[in-house]
Amino acid sequence: MKKYLWMICLLVLCAVTGTALAAEATAGAQTANTAGQIPAPERFQVIAATDRVNVTLDTQTIRYVQDPYREEKLVDAWVKTVDRDTGGYNLSRYYFRTSERQAQLMTSMDFDADGNVLATERNSYAVKGFKDVIPETAEEKSYNAALQYAKEKLTVKKSWPF
**Domain locations along the chain:** 1-35, 54-153
- What pLDDT was estimated at residue 155? 86
- 47 burial (CB, 10 Å; 0-12 / 13-18 / 19+) is buried
- Which of 66, 60, 62 minimizes the C-alpha distance to 148? 62
Mean pLDDT along residues 73-81:
97
Q: Is residue 1 classed as helix, strand or coil in its secondary structure?
A: coil
Give residues with Cβ within 8 angstroms of 25, minimum separation 6.
10
The 10s digit of each residue's pLDDT in 100-140 is 999 999 999 999 999 999 999 999 999 999 999 999 999 99
- What pLDDT was estimated at residue 151? 95
Q: Give the C-alpha separation, 123 to 107, whole Å.
A: 6
- What pLDDT was estimated at residue 6? 35
DSSP class of residue 128 equals G
pLDDT at 19 over 70: no
Q: C-alpha angle with apex 150: 3 to 73, nearest 5 degrees?
A: 170
- What pLDDT was estimated at residue 42? 85
User: For 113, phi and psi rounded to 5 degrees?
Assistant: -65, -25
The 10s digit of each residue's pLDDT in 25-75 is 444 444 444 456 666 668 999 999 999 999 999 999 999 999 999 999 999
